[in-house]
């Protein structure tokens, strides 16, 4: 069975894309940038030494799951959510939803999705897909990162949904149980922006927000001493580009999508200053892209001397300064 | 960012990028992945070299097949232990070059599930009989 009237659409990011898609299906007209902005998706965090990561890494969005929770708080939507200890019960619940014609989002480990090309496969327990059908033992999946609907065997779906480890999915799934006819856009947008500014400027943790960008700038010069060898270092440096551009960010580590949100918000709440700030953030994003393209080129050429890492560090310090100034002014504008 | 600056030809991996259109508004476009379009060969070269280097380490008894897949799949001991549902010290024991033979059938099956490769493949990698 396939839920026929579900419209698959690619999106920049899996969580904001799944939420947008499910809300659109439920009748709420909302764009992905608006979901991302209202839910304060924009963020930065640098993790230099964490037991779960084999090499230092960074994030450019808020905590997985937080977008859904923030959308609930700010729009009045109520999501039905469920986790499972038992794999069979988790599968039965998903199948039951399909039989009732309810598309639902499922959290999975990206690594076990057969339709993902080998070069993209990484162990990442926080990928979201929307399950819209099942034919025999094969699920029909709407994955925001793919242009068309894809097939996923039940065995792989179960491996993905019940993978263990850091942020394990535990069969988690959700769908909108209640969608209001309307909500106060202005209030939701303002709350979303305020929280994003707080996250970027004021969280008192040294590796999060602007502080995180500065820590990244400081620590990236240590990377050569952490890598196994030149090829490993090259791989990790090129991953900067993947994390900023390729792994579902809409470009420049979500900065382009957030700029789009600000432009849309400016029209909705009649605040032209937001349009100017959107333009500024687009330019800041261009700088992030310049940084990520430079990193990719260094990695490809194995041009990994200390002066190159110093240059990467300088580019990051510049991003930190620009973003600090930007979010301070955004915060004042929205007060 | 203008549309012309992000377009890349790579049908196998499409992404959504938000760009500035001619009229000054921002919107999403679908394009190929820039890094895959330009650097995928380099990625495969590095994977091949990593496979070879790790296989040599198995042969020199510096690591075993579990260590091979752990490194290859970018997992840490902590993460692998969590995914296996085992204590870290147990996984450390399994990772010792001489620890492979002490891994139970059930644990090997679980490793094969975590790494998403057949148990036979792990065993043949350990014995160096891979085709």
Domain B45-127 belongs in CATH node 1.10.260.40: yes
Contacts of A293 in chain B (CB under 8 A): 34
pLDDT (0 to 100) of residue B99: 94
**Cβ distance A274 to A262 under 8 Å?**
yes
* Interchain CB distance below 8 Å, B78 and A164: no
Chain A: closest CA distance from residue B33 (Å): 6
* Interchain CB distance below 8 Å, A164 and B34: no
Domain ranges of chain B: 3-32, 45-127
* Interchain CB distance below 8 Å, A245 and B13: no
* Interchain CB distance below 8 Å, A250 and B82: no
CATH architecture of A14-30+78-178: Alpha-Beta Complex (3.90)
Name the pLDDT band for B130 (thresholds 50, 70, 90).
low
Chain A: closest CA distance from residue B98 (Å): 23
Q: How many interface pairs between A and B have CB atoms less than 8 angstroms apart?
A: 134
pLDDT (0 to 100) of residue A318: 98
* H or E segment to which residue B126 belongs: helix B119-127
> To the nearest whole percent, how much of chain B has pLDDT over 90?
92
pLDDT (0 to 100) of residue B129: 65
Name the pLDDT band for B62 (thresholds 50, 70, 90).
very high
Q: Which residue of B has its CA nearest to A147?
A: B14
Of A315, A242, A266, A236, nearest to A60 by C-alpha is: A242
pLDDT (0 to 100) of residue A271: 96
Angle formed at CA B108 by CA B102 and CA B113, multiple of 5 degrees? 160
User: Tokens 């099942």 sit at which residue?
Assistant: A134
Domain ranges of chain A: 14-30+78-178, 185-334
Q: Which residue of A has its CA nearest to B17?
A: A250
pLDDT of B43 higher than 90: yes
d(CA A235, CA A178): 45
Which pLDDT tens digit goes with each residue over B87-110? 999 999 999 999 999 999 999 999
pLDDT (0 to 100) of residue B127: 87
Of A50, A37, A298, A20, nearest to A176 by C-alpha is: A20
pLDDT digits (tens), chain A, 335 positions: 899 899 999 999 999 999 999 999 999 999 999 999 999 999 999 999 888 899 999 999 999 999 999 999 999 999 999 999 999 999 999 999 999 999 999 999 999 999 999 999 999 999 999 999 999 999 999 999 999 999 999 999 999 999 999 999 999 999 999 999 999 999 999 999 999 999 999 999 999 999 999 999 999 999 999 999 999 999 999 999 999 998 899 999 999 999 999 999 999 999 999 999 999 999 999 999 999 999 999 999 999 999 999 999 999 999 999 999 999 999 999 98
pLDDT of B56 higher than 80: yes
pLDDT of B131 higher than 60: no
Helix intervals (H) in chain A: 14-25, 32-38, 66-75, 87-99, 154-161, 185-201, 210-219, 223-226, 230-241, 255-268, 272-301, 306-334
* Tokens of residue A134, six digits: 């099942």
Which one of B14, B20, B23, B26 makes the best mutation probe of the A interface by having the most chain A beta carbons within 10 Å? B26
**Cβ distance A127 to A163 under 8 Å?**
no
Name the pLDDT band for B15 (thresholds 50, 70, 90).
very high
Give B15's strand partners.
B31
d(CA A250, CA A13): 7
Chain B: closest CA distance from residue A103 (Å): 23
Positive/negative CA dihedral, B91, B97, B103, B105: positive
Name the pLDDT band for B4 (thresholds 50, 70, 90).
confident
């Amino acid at each position: 069975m396939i839920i026929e009237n579900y419209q698959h659409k690619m999106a920049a990011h899996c969580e904001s894309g799944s939420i947008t898609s499910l809300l659109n299906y439920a009748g709420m007209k909302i764009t992905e940038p608006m979901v991302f902005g209202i839910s304060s998706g924009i963020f930065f965090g640098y993790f230099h030494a964490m037991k779960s990561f084999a090499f230092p890494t960074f994030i450019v969005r808020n905590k997985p799951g937080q977008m859904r929770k923030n959308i609930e708080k700010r729009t009045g939507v109520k999501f039905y959510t469920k986790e499972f200890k038992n794999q069979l019960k988790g599968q039965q619940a998903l199948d039951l939803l399909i039989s009732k014609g309810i598309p639902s989002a499922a959290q999975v480990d990206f690594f076990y999705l057969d339709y993902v090309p080998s070069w993209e496969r990484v162990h990442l327990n926080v990928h979201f897909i929307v399950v819209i059908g099942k034919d025999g033992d094969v699920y029909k999946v709407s994955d925001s990162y793919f242009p068309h609907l894809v097939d996923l065997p039940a065995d792989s779906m179960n491996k993905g949904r019940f993978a263990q480890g850091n942020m394990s999915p535990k069969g988690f799934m959700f769908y909108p149980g209640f969608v209001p006819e309307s909500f106060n856009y202005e209030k939701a947008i303002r709350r979303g922006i305020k929280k994003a500014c707080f996250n970027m400027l004021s969280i008192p943790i040294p590796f999060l927000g602007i502080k995180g960008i500065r820590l990244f700038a400081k620590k990236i010069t240590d990377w050569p001493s952490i890598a196994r060898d030149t090829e490993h270092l090259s791989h990790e440096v090129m991953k900067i580009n993947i994390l900023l551009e390729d792994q579902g960010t809409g470009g420049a580590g979500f900065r382009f999508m957030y700029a789009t949100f600000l432009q849309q918000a400016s029209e909705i709440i009649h605040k032209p200053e937001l349009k100017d700030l959107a333009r500024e953030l687009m330019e800041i994003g261009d700088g992030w892209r310049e940084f990520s393209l430079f990193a990719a080129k260094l990695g490809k050429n194995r041009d990994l001397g200390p002066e190159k890492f110093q240059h990467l560090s300088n580019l990051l310090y510049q991003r930190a300064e620009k973003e600090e100034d930007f979010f301070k002014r955004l915060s004042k504008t929205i007060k | 960012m203008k549309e012309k600056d992000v377009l890349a030809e790579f049908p196998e991996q499409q992404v959504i990028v938000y760009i500035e259109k001619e009229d000054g508004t921002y919107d999403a476009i679908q394009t190929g992945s820039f890094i895959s379009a330009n650097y995928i060969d380099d990625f495969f070269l590095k994977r091949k070299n990593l496979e070879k280097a790790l296989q040599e380490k198995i042969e020199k008894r510096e690591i075993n097949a579990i260590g091979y897949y752990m490194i290859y799949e970018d997992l840490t001991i902590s993460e692998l232990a969590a995914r296996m549902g085992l204590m870290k010290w147990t996984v450390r024991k399994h990772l010792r070059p001489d620890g492979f033979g002490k891994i139970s059938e059930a644990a090997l099956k679980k490793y094969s599930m975590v790494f998403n490769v057949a148990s036979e493949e792990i065993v043949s990698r350990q014995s160096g009989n891979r085709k």
